[in-house]
Structure 1
Amino acid sequence: MSSKPKSVAHYSLAWLALILATLAGLAWWWQIGRPVDLPDAPSARIACVSYAPFRKPGETPFDRHFVITPERIDEDLRALSQRFDCVRTYSQSNGLAAVPAIAARYHMQVLMGIWLGNVPKINDVEIEQGVATANANPKVIRGIVVGNEVLLRGDLSPKRLAEYIRRVRAAVPASIPVTYADVWENWLRYPQMASAVDFVTIHILPYWENNPVAAIDAVQHVEDVYTRIQHTFPGKQVMIGETGWPSEGRLRRSAEPSLVDEALYLRSFLRYAVQVHMPYNVIETFDQPWKRQLEGTVGGYWGIFDSDAKPKFPMLGPVTEDPQWWLGWLAGVMGAAAFAVAGGRRRSWHGIRGWLALLLAGFAAGTSAAWQLRQMMFACQWWWEWLISAVCLAGALAIAAALARRIAAHLADHHDHTEPSQWWRYCAMFALVLYDILLAFNGRYMDFPMGLFCLPCVAYGVFGLLTREFIMPSTEQRFMACVGPLLAIAPVVQEVGMNKVTWLWLGLNLAIAVPVWVAWRHHHAVRLQSYQAQTAD
């Protein structure tokens, strides 16, 4: 396949793209490594926290045969009692019925949950066990939560749910209050539920709102919602049963999951809660790997502690997103060295410009690959997820390296050089369009693998600035070049233009598609000139 050198402007744009890609890699890793000053929490102690002990690989509440041993619960609560006055549970199964008796040893209270679903027999077992647990530990039970987000899931009607609540209310001592917990919008949608409970328990999760709220504005949102619910149900105590912020996952509009934002939100919320003397419960104690199956990466990272029971951030002083940020720069240096070695072998060019192009491309590729590896560490749970991700990353690096070799040759002496096999671009575009489809139609819980697709998309974008193909791109490539950017517009619209990552994703689609458009147009221009020449003859 032959190609034709382009103008000086195109070469200048190619150099600019390489420099910007390198600076972006430098800046991103530096940004997550700098300490960020945050408001201090009023205390390291927290009134109540959701306790779900399913933090080890393979542990999930969906397995009703899996039982958390009393020894494990005792170990957890002994440690948690140093920072928390109360824990909230969600069910009686999986061994969690033992929590109140063990909590009493450490002078903790329990906001005890009874899980309700759409299977009456299981509901009856849960209620019987919950009533027995409450009656055996009345002094420890701060309250009983009969059902969690049942109306949100649509498992029960309000009438049937109220019957279950009243059944529990009649079976436990009057000194133990009974409630139901759901997102705050459902309390406004079903206000009749207030008559069935002793106090109203609402969930306010600014990240998951229909209109997500940035961490810096989230506490004001909580205050507005809490005040609204209080005015809606005068005479009823209102408790926030769940609130928190994730430390990893996809951006939702301006709501960004990060360790710094989790610390910012939690510290700010605790300051507000102390000021207004409100009852609250924070979600959650530990990161929960099993939740990634339901909510994507973000579902597994709502814990104050990680899955190894280590605190994720301090309650005082500055917070750093990633103390090992320098590994990203190290990966960039290694990428620059690897690209220089690979691109310098059997070269037909000479001069500093070629070497500089290889070093810039390699550093940018290394930092991008490191970004993707970091995302994989949070997102991949099973061996096959690691295998697929690793194969895709290796392929993307191979494409970037091959194109960097040709880009360096162009920038060194402007000689003509051929493109790698069209199959390489075909595979990159196919994977990109496939992901575009998933994001456009079911992207609520999906990450944007920017580090992965930056490699082939940016490389082909820069290569496209330097070459013009005379052979028509395949029909499949032309189709994907048209469909990909159109699909990539969907996330931008869905996030009402507020999500910066969706714009970058659209940019990657354009970077790899535009050279195909240009080649397509050029081919038609050549055919038109040929036809006109034949007509003139």
Structure 2
Amino acid sequence: MTLHTSYARLARPLAWIVLVLAAVFGAGYWWSLGRPVPLPDSPTTRIACVSYAPFRFAGETPFDPHAFVSPERIDADLKDLSTRFDCVRTYSMGQGLGAVPEIAGRYGMKVLMGVWLGRDPAANEREMQLALASAKKHAANLRGIVVGNEVLLRGELTEKALAGYIARMNAATDVPVTYADVWEFWQAHPALAKVTDYVTIHILPYWEDEPVAPAQAVRHVADVYQRMKAEFPGKAVMIGETGWPSQGRTRRQASASLVNEARYMRQFLNYAATVDMPYNVIEAFDQPWKRDLEGTVGGYWGIFDVQGRPKFAMTGPVVEEPRWAWALGAGGVLAIVFVGAGAFRRRWRGAAGWASLALAGFATGTALAAHARLLEFACRNRLEWAVGIAVGVAGACTALSLARAIASRLAAPVNTADVAPTPTERRLLGIAWTDRFTPQRFFWMFVLALYGILMVFNGRYRDFPIGLFAMPAVAFLVLALLRTREDPLKPLLEERLLAVWLVLLGGAVVVQEVGASAVAWGWLLLNVAMALPVLLAWRRARA
């Protein structure tokens, strides 16, 4: 018995295994998102202080020089926030935010008043003047003044220039003055402590250079806090920002999810209740405009969503995706669609064909639902929605066309209508393709390789669109497994190059994630699945 004959006998079982696993994985993925996850309860629903920015509705951004938030809207926000928070932290004085100290006082709240500093001296001066006036008028409502936020991290001011602004503010008011930045930048610029009344550090375990897993995140915060207290003896140290995102890219073991945000906040509040530590959490409301800067994850650090609704409770289990049953329903609908489409002009008979169509349709439906969920969180405008929907439909259509070919092979392994012992080239757009599926395969390989390059060289803020690429990748893999009786032509040179690059790019992402991210391994598997049909055909053509 030859190796080729042995493989031919295993091809059908392997194809069935892949189809079943794809359907089971799709169902299991959504089922897991819908399970209540037990978490430790928070000791309180009240939080000491929270970052407040009102730019949460569609099209709103603080980068719009004409943006203005009315006092009435700030009043409504702070009235609601006062039921959960004792204090709010702001980041700038312009665009209407100068009204926050006065309005917060109406509801018994204190304010960490932010002064935004950057490269523009004129803009910095306007911020300083507004802050000085507010500090003089509403000093009783202020817990502190934060002169500059992460301006050293952004490289927009020198330490000397920043120290000048801080010293000037400190000399003009009795309100405690500080500067806020990531904790490593305080280590790099300890002299700033001489001109501040206290040290304000940001500790965001998700964004660390070495991302911290959710289970160890609060322990990391506690260790860093104690280290910084030791490095600045005699100075009070405040945590100016800490929190966890509810959506976005997984960084190594740091998974952005609603469950993990709830886990972090509850565990942090349990820790904060045991120490004498001033702190502020980021942030009150989700901020869609931050997705322009930080990708999907930037828009989902809020304790409340953009409509002001709490994203999770402080006690009891938390469910990641309450709508999970709809995704299973989408799988059922696509299974029916695939079975119906398979009946059109079919040349095969038997239950195997129908079963394969149903499995392929269900797997495609659950993958399409995952893609739709990503679009819901990631899309920032109509163009992104249009592109996302278009590629999602294209992926489902590719899976459908391949499912018909897969069904014909599983139902009737020897079928002269679909299996050509000596295939001939087909031409499209002046290019000689090896068969009628090659243009689709080339398209998806090219798109996946292009996105893979972006992931490797600029992937910090990019999501893993696994649901989208799973649809064509799995379908092409199953079809390739079943093409044992064909004598394929050698794949195009461009396809062979893409196949090699897909494997290398997928592996590079795993290396960048130091092998700690299950999502990165899944991404590699998708790249391999997309490349295997070409690599197998290449090997067989050379044999």
Same fold (TM over 0.5): yes
Taking the TM superposition and a 5 Å limit, the aligned residue runs for 1:121-132 are 121-132=122-133
Taking the TM superposition and a 5 Å limit, the aligned residue runs for 1:15-30 are 15-30=16-31
Q: Which amino acid aligns with 1:154?
A: G
Residue 518 (structure 1) aligned with residue 519 (structure 2)? no
Structure 2 vs 1, CA of residues 469 and 487 (structure 1 numbering), >3 Å: closer, same or farther?
A: farther
Q: For residue 140 of structure 2, give the secondary structure of its aligned residue in structure 1.
A: coil
Aligned length: 521
Q: Which amino acid aligns with 2:537?
A: A
- Tell me the equivalent position of 1:316: 315
Of 452, 458, 463 in structure 1, the residue corresponding to residue 479 of structure 2 is: 463
Q: Which amino acid aligns with 2:270?
A: R
Distance in 1 between residues matched to 2:366 and 2:188, nearest whole Å: 48
Distance in 2 between residues matched to 1:522 and 1:258, nearest whole Å: 44
Distance in 2 between residues matched to 1:196 and 1:39, nearest whole Å: 40
Alpha-carbon deviation of 1:192?
Answer: 1.0
Residue 107 (structure 1) aligned with residue 108 (structure 2)? yes
Alpha-carbon deviation of 1:256?
Answer: 0.4
Check the 8 A contact 1:5/1:415 in 2, yes or no.
no
* More displaced 10-residue stretch of structure 1: 243-252 or 493-502: 493-502
Residue 488 (structure 1) aligned with residue 506 (structure 2)? yes
- Tell me the equivalent position of 1:96: 97
Residue 288 (structure 1) aligned with residue 287 (structure 2)? yes
Q: For residue 182 of structure 1, give the secondary structure of its aligned residue in structure 2.
A: strand
Taking the TM superposition and a 5 Å limit, the aligned residue runs for 1:178-257 are 178-257=177-256
Q: For residue 152 of structure 1, give the secondary structure of its aligned residue in structure 2.
A: coil
Check the 8 A contact 1:212/1:254 in 2, yes or no.
yes
Check the 8 A contact 1:403/1:420 in 2, yes or no.
no
Q: For residue 319 of structure 2, give the secondary structure of its aligned residue in structure 1.
A: coil
* More displaced 10-residue stretch of structure 1: 415-424 or 299-308: 415-424
Residue 447 (structure 1) aligned with residue 463 (structure 2)? yes
Task: Structure 1: give runs of 5+ residues left out of the alignment.
Answer: 526-537
Check the 8 A contact 1:6/1:465 in 2, yes or no.
no
Check the 8 A contact 1:33/1:322 in 2, yes or no.
yes
Check the 8 A contact 1:353/1:411 in 2, yes or no.
yes
Runs of 4+ in 1 over 4 A off after TM superposition: none
1:104-154 deviations in Å (ceiling 9; x for gaps) = 111100000000001111111100111101111010000000000011011
Residue 475 (structure 1) aligned with residue 474 (structure 2)? no
Check the 8 A contact 1:184/1:202 in 2, yes or no.
yes
RMSD of aligned residue pairs (Cα, Å): 1.3
- Tell me the equivalent position of 1:433: 449
Distance in 2 between residues matched to 1:509 and 1:88, nearest whole Å: 44
- Tell me the equivalent position of 1:31: 32
Distance in 2 between residues matched to 1:17 and 1:521, nearest whole Å: 21
Taking the TM superposition and a 5 Å limit, the aligned residue runs for 1:397-416 are 397-416=396-415
Once the two structures are aligned, what percentage of the paired residues are identical?
55
* More displaced 10-residue stretch of structure 1: 193-202 or 468-477: 468-477
Check the 8 A contact 1:43/1:315 in 2, yes or no.
yes
- Tell me the equivalent position of 1:78: 79
- Tell me the equivalent position of 1:530: none
Q: Which amino acid aligns with 1:238?
A: V
Q: Which amino acid aligns with 2:448?
A: L
TM-score, with length taken from structure 1: 0.95
Check the 8 A contact 1:357/1:408 in 2, yes or no.
yes
Q: For residue 67 of structure 1, give the secondary structure of its aligned residue in structure 2.
A: coil
Distance in 2 between residues matched to 1:112 and 1:405, nearest whole Å: 63
- Tell me the equivalent position of 1:386: 385
Distance in 1 between residues matched to 2:90 and 2:245, nearest whole Å: 19
Alpha-carbon deviation of 1:5?
Answer: 11
Distance in 2 between residues matched to 1:347 and 1:59, nearest whole Å: 53
1:126-184 deviations in Å (ceiling 9; x for gaps) = 00111101111010000000000011011111111111100011111x2x100000001
- Tell me the equivalent position of 1:529: none
Distance in 2 between residues matched to 1:487 and 1:320, nearest whole Å: 34
* More displaced 10-residue stretch of structure 1: 51-60 or 468-477: 468-477
Q: Which amino acid aligns with 1:452?
A: L
- Tell me the equivalent position of 2:425: none
- Tell me the equivalent position of 1:265: 264
Alpha-carbon deviation of 1:65?
Answer: 1.3
- Tell me the equivalent position of 1:276: 275
Q: For residue 7 of structure 1, give the secondary structure of its aligned residue in structure 2.
A: helix
Alpha-carbon deviation of 1:485?
Answer: 1.2
Distance in 2 between residues matched to 1:521 and 1:108, nearest whole Å: 71
Alpha-carbon deviation of 1:81?
Answer: 0.6
- Tell me the equivalent position of 2:88: 87
Q: For residue 284 of structure 1, give the secondary structure of its aligned residue in structure 2.
A: coil
- Tell me the equivalent position of 2:369: 370
Alpha-carbon deviation of 1:469?
Answer: 5.0
Alpha-carbon deviation of 1:20?
Answer: 0.6
Q: For residue 462 of structure 2, give the secondary structure of its aligned residue in structure 1.
A: coil
- Tell me the equivalent position of 1:531: none
- Tell me the equivalent position of 1:177: 176
Distance in 1 between residues matched to 2:400 and 2:76, nearest whole Å: 50
Q: Which amino acid aligns with 1:83?
A: R
Asked which structure has the greater RCO (Cα within 8 Å, sep 6+), the reply is: 1
Alpha-carbon deviation of 1:6?
Answer: 5.8
Task: Structure 2: give runs of 5+ residues left out of the alignment.
Answer: 420-434
Taking the TM superposition and a 5 Å limit, the aligned residue runs for 1:276-355 are 276-355=275-354
- Tell me the equivalent position of 2:149: 148
Distance in 2 between residues matched to 1:64 and 1:114, nearest whole Å: 16
1:375-396 deviations in Å (ceiling 9; x for gaps) = 1000011000001111111111
Distance in 2 between residues matched to 1:31 and 1:522, nearest whole Å: 40
Residue 161 (structure 1) aligned with residue 162 (structure 2)? yes
Distance in 2 between residues matched to 1:6 and 1:460, nearest whole Å: 18
